[in-house]
Structure 1
């Protein structure tokens, strides 16, 4: 979900306003994903590298996360949305952790769309942790590592979307993206709508997936 800061800069607004609009885009897209019948939607919300940002920006992001969870948890429950976190969310501020843990518990038995939020997540860190756990149990194989990834139990990654014109993975789901289709758009995240998601899904449906075969 890239481009919040640039969206705000183009409008001569504080970066925090861009992040606020980005959260509104999240709310709209999560509802649309459920209506479209998507099995799972993963959003890269806060990376292990994002701790390098200015302290006031990190604080604003944590505040937005808290407000989003508080405002939407009842809707998740009512609409059978299951929340899942990847990354080490326990390293976030204690009040944020408490809200997330409550939301995870309240939605644990839901079996509709799974909303996966990547928080304090980095794919390289995830792979190292998974390989270490696999090695402690026995032989290191692709299946053994996959079983220890943060995404264990989730459906395979089919489509990876990146907004704002950036054309790189930025340490996101590196293992899972091995055979995922990718779709890049110039649209900044706050302007990303359900119509853009549908466009990406239509393009995905046209592609022939060979997984290394001919």
Structure 2
């Protein structure tokens, strides 16, 4: 499923409340364009802006992007250092537009592990957009799905140890309330770009009943038309959540 030039008529009453994106293909895109791999990450930030504004226009409530995983520390130091600079580049370029368009910025993951300058930039953007009521743009930064589950388990275990909850009160809803995505709508649709077919430790609990689309389009090439195509595919699937027809 590559980049499309077709148009798709969407049912605006049947859109996902929450879309999650695994932004894959930045380095491949840079290589194909004979540019340094860091340039692919730079171009990828433009896609985040495009899709955030379009999701906001469509009335989608939340959009989560996998910006940096707990495993990404294994990459070359120069690349990691550059990725940590991207939030400042992104928000210096687009924060005024996000504020104007009523987009709220949030983050999940372990921001405290990022360089102090990166932390300050992201916290400043969260503060500046905290009263916005449109799309929630969630940056998964130094995030891992397994870690999210472990952290939630530790919180519940501590509550049980402190006598705040009983064993019978440890259920799915209380568990979800301890996840980093607590307060966000359930993820209805996950899209991974570049054709890779795996979850890469992203929102493992949250994607249990999500629709999954593995799109061959490289992330820097992903535009509004491609989003509409994947939304059209989503709208023509039957979601039964384990039930019958």
Query: TM-score if structure 2 supplies the norm length?
Result: 0.85
| Alignment of 1:105 onto 2:127 | yes
Deviations 1:73-117 (A, max 9, x none): 222222111111010112111011011111111111211110011
For 1:110 and 1:11, the matched residues in 2 are separated by 37
Runs of 4+ in 1 over 6 A off after TM superposition: none
Matches within 5 A, 1:8-27: 8-27=30-49
Pairwise CA RMSD: 1.0
Deviation string, structure 1 residues 164-208 (Cα, Å, up to 9, x no partner): 010110000100000000111111111111111111111111111
Give 1:181's aligned residue.
211
Alpha-carbon deviation of 1:38?
Answer: 1.1
Rg (Cα) greater in structure: 2
Question: How far 1:145 sits from its partner (Å)?
Answer: 1.3
1: CA distance, partners of 2:93 / 2:40: 19
Hey, what's the Cα distance between the residues in 2 that align with 1:108 and 1:195? Answer: 29
Question: Given the alignment, which residue of 182, 195, 200 partners 1:165?
Answer: 195
Aligned position for 2:69:
47
Which sits farther off after the overlay, 66-75 or 38-47? 66-75
Deviation at 1:19, TM superposition (A): 0.9
Structure 2 unaligned spans of 5+? 1-22, 161-166
| Matches of 1:213 and 1:167, distance apart in 2 | 25
Task: Tell me how far 1:9 sits from its aligned partner.
Answer: 1.2
The reply on whether 1:150 has 2:150 as its aligned counterpart is: no
What is aligned with 2:25? 3
Asked if the contact 2:87/2:122 (under 8 Å) is kept, the reply is: no
Structure having the larger proportion of residues in helix: 1
Q: Is the 8 A contact 2:87 2:121 kept in 1?
A: no
| 1:66 is aligned to 2:93 | no
Q: Once the 2 structures are TM-superposed, how far is the Cα of residue 212 of structure 1 from its aligned partner?
A: 0.5
Unaligned runs of 5+ in 1: none
From 85, 91, 95, the equivalent of 2:107 is 85
| Whole-Å separation in 2 of the counterparts to 1:18 and 1:72 | 18
Which is worse superposed, 187-196 or 136-145? 136-145
Q: Residue 53 of structure 2 aligns with which residue?
A: 31
CA distance in 2, matches of 1:121, 1:52: 14
- Three-state SS of the structure 1 residue aligned to 2:67 is strand
Partners of 1:55 and 1:94 in 2: how far apart? 17
How far the C-alpha of 1:11 sits from its partner, in A, is: 2.2
